[in-house]
Structure 1
């Protein structure tokens, strides 16, 4: 490669990078904002139409709890970039507080005679909720996200074709549970990024249900499992088990990628997008 051609290549790459950054961090236009009503509450939905000659369908994006529909980090990036791959992006605001109990445990609750104390790992704070309270919280928030995704069918009808659900972090653990229990319409592809369920071990064993790895092995749709080195420690610890329990599936039905880059920068987001785009093309068949 000559110096002139190298400079041209670097210039094109730089301009392309700037264009992508401008697209990702641009304010959300009013035309992309919609709302749905879930349990008497208005929930924001952001819809970005496909921006490609190929119109493959729609991707529902669910970020970590306590984030907005526009997302942060990876979800924010995917919302802007997935449409260039032929998928309309439909982003919903995740539930608030999933698996995030109030850690301000009252002093008088720390020790109560006759009550069984919670057993936690040394790195975990003691949550204020007991097993039954946490189970109630989890079930309530599962019903919220179930209602949210179920209401998106009307919005997605404008974008016929295949359906993808991309869920990250603790929201991924929730979506996996709903699909396992057949409470959500099955998409053509499920993408989970750093999935985990925090404090599951606090819930009494008979109410706990199967692990994420076990549930994934029972879900009979194509699954792309993405893990990053900077993901939640529970997700990282369970990544090998997820892969092991799904290894009997064909590569068309389960594939796990360990990202080379962290998901705290645009290069890592792009790496994840490339894996999603490649797997989704095979599912779409075009």
Structure 2
């Protein structure tokens, strides 16, 4: 593979878009200013996204086994060295023949923060939505949501496009591990051919917060013609649990080198579940490498 009440007068759509952009710019600032000084300098690499440095963490394979490079994408807004599963995978996979490259994922944007000036309070508002009184008003308008999603896609594509130079020393297969809502974005970008296909895809608790997008996730995953390992934990989001059965049903039958779904017996917050996930990944990767050995 070559390498997210309303007595106040509502803001205009332009102001709403600006609010979303401010949220995303704030994330870009926090991503570029993240402190990784406790890590060895050799691990810390920088990608250029929207003119800012965004950290990526690279560790070489250890030992005689040299299978390739694993790219790890944590869930939205997490650090490249997120404690728990991400940190465990990026260290432990090195001993089973994989260099690891952990990326800073796109942001999980917060709802826009609206400010109503005092002189505006007594003015009549302008109705800009038709949500019934007994229903919750969405955090984002359709326009804002589309803009946020495009920003997340652009962030992911920009970061992934720079991986060739970082991983060129590590020949062999490319395995892509994506977690949570980042997994949904990766599935979408692969299914629409905006990202080149990895040799192996691992998704862990994949989901989207948008109901219609989450509903379409199983079909998009099943459409990928690459080996997929699908890991689900009991403490995954309700959205990921809701599609687990359909993800399995839609997968190719009797195709052990095409799709495998594994359920974790314990919560992903526990170290034993990190180790079980590692074993699932190592086992699936070895099966794929045996079927399609490196040249």
Same fold (TM over 0.5): yes
Query: In structure 2, which of residues 71, 83, 92 is the aligned counterpart of residue 60 of structure 1?
Result: 71
Q: Distance in 2 between matches of 1:194 and 1:118?
A: 33
Pick aligned residue for 1:160 from 157, 171, 175: 171
Structure 2 partner of 1:265: 270
Q: Relative to structure 1, is the Cα distance of residues 112 and 223 closer, same or farther in structure 2, using a 3 angstrom cutoff?
A: farther
Deviates more, 1:163-172 or 1:28-37: 28-37
Distance 1:95 1:126 in 2: 25
| Secondary structure in structure 2 of the residue aligned to 1:65 | coil
Task: Tell whether 2:156 aligns with 1:145.
Answer: yes
Are 1:102 and 1:128, in contact at CA under 8 Å, matched by a contact in 2?
yes
Match of 1:211, SS state, is: helix
Number of aligned residues: 247
1:76-111 CA distances to partner (integer Å, 9 max, x unpaired)? Answer: 1101111011000001111112xx441767899xx9
Question: In the TM superposition, what whole-angstrom CA distance separates every residue of 1:213-258 from its partner, at most 9, and x where no partner exists?
Answer: 0101111100000000001110011111111111436121111001
* Per-residue deviation, 1:199: 2.1
The answer as to 2:90 corresponding to 1:87 is: no
Cα pair distance change 1:200/1:119, threshold 3 Å? farther
> What's 2:181 paired with?
170
Structure 1 residues 132, 103: CA separation in 2 closer, same or farther (over 3 Å shift)? closer
For the Cα contact (< 8 Å) 2:131–2:137, is it kept in 1? Answer: no
Q: Which runs of 5+ in 1 are unaligned?
A: 1-26, 202-207
Structure number with the higher helix fraction is: 1
SS at match of 2:76: coil
Structure 1 residues 198-237: aligned runs within 5 Å: 198-201=209-212, 211-237=216-242
For 1:253 and 1:119, locate their aligned partners in 2 and report how far apart those are by CA, in whole Å.
48
* TM alignment of 1:1-286, pairs within 5 A: 27-97=38-108, 100-102=109-111, 113=127, 115-117=129-131, 127-201=138-212, 211-248=216-253, 250-285=255-290
Could you say if the C-alpha distance between residues 145 and 166 of structure 1 is closer, same or farther in structure 2, counting changes exceeding 3 Å?
A: same
CA distance in 2, matches of 1:223, 1:238: 16
Give the 3-state SS of the residue equivalent to 1:191 in structure 2.
strand
What is the deviation of 1:116? 2.8
What stretches of structure 2 of length at least 5 have no aligned partner? 1-37
How many Å separate the matches in 1 of 2:272 and 2:126?
50
Q: Secondary structure at the match of 2:154?
A: helix
- 1:133 offset after TM fit, Å? 1.3
Q: Is the 8 A contact 1:226 1:272 kept in 2?
A: yes
TM-score by length of 2: 0.77
TM-score (norm 1): 0.80
Per-residue CA deviation, residues 169-190 of structure 1 (Å, 9 max, x unaligned), is 0100110010001111110000
- Give 3-state SS (helix, strand or coil) of 2:249's partner: helix
**1:262-282, Cα deviation, whole Å (9 max, x unpaired):** 110211100000000000112
Report the Cα distance in structure 2 between the residues aligned to 1:41 and 1:127, rounded to whole angstroms: 31
Measured on the aligned residues, the alpha-carbon RMSD in Å equals 2.5
Aligned to 1:12: none
